[in-house]
Amino acid sequence: MSRFIAFLRAINVGGHTVRMEDLRRLFESLGFSNVETFIASGNVVFETAAKKRSTLERRIRARLGGALGFEVATFIRTDAELARIADYRPFAKVDLDNAAALNIAFLATPIEHASRKKLMGLRTAIDDFAVHGREIYWLCHRKQSESTFSNAVLERILGRQATLRGANTILRMAEKYRVRSEG
């Protein structure tokens, strides 16, 4: 059995309230085992013998959409990928130490050159970005409320869906769900 982490868009934001117990049951109804949620923002850890990420994402998206009545974009990572995402350092330590927030956007596939160029065109004195694989790291130097950047802006620039998580959440998840072989 492989462990996966599903990062779900539109869970407990924008008027879409979902109890974590209900979310766990929906994942279990798909035949997944050892289902856990991590904080109430649409992070679900589960195990399955299935290996194909795109099939898992489609199944989850269809099941949740049907049960909840709204679209739930789903971005799956393995526990090993989660550890690499948490360990990746795209910004200098001094910038991280002085920043108000570091967020990570999850995408289904890496962005192409033209989208990367558009994203980098959004850099300001408040916001900086780094792209690594299927993730975008957003460093916010001041309060996020002072920034004009958001997930909606990101999706508009990229022309596709994404979901954001705070780096501290990702660090805590990576620590809790470290790859078994790492001990």
pLDDT tens string 57-114 = 999 999 999 999 999 999 999 999 999 999 999 999 999 999 999 999 999 999 999 9
Q: How many percent of the chain have pLDDT more than 70? A: 97
State whether CATH 3.30.70.1260 applies to domain 83-176.
yes
**pLDDT number for residue 180:** 53
CA distances, 12 to each of 3, 16, 41, 127 (Å): 24, 5, 6, 25
Is pLDDT at 10 greater than 90 in this prediction? no
What number is the average pLDDT over the span 24-36? 97
CATH 3.30.70.1280, the chain: domain bounds: 2-82
Q: Would the pLDDT of 56 be above 80? A: yes
Residue range(s) occupied by CATH 3.30.70.1260 in the chain: 83-176
Per-residue pLDDT at 181: 45
Query: Could you give the CA distance from residue 160 to residue 157 in angstroms, rounded to a whole number?
Result: 8
Name the percent of the chain lying above pLDDT 90: 90
Both tokens assigned to 18: 């979902």
Read off the pLDDT of each residue in 141-160 and give the average, rounded to a whole number.
95
Helices (H), 69-176: 79-87, 93-98, 113-120, 151-158, 167-176
Question: Between 1.10.3720.10, 3.10.580.10, 3.40.50.2300, 3.30.70.1280, what CATH number should domain 2-82 receive?
Answer: 3.30.70.1280
Q: How confident is the model at residue 40 (pLDDT cuts 50, 70, 90)?
A: confident
pTM over 0.85: yes
User: Would you say residue 50 has pLDDT above 90?
Assistant: yes
What is the pLDDT of the chain when averaged over all its residues? 94
Integer Cα distance of 73 and 11 in angstroms: 10
In sequence order, which ranges of the chain are alpha helices (DSSP H)?
20-29, 53-68, 79-87, 93-98, 113-120, 151-158, 167-176
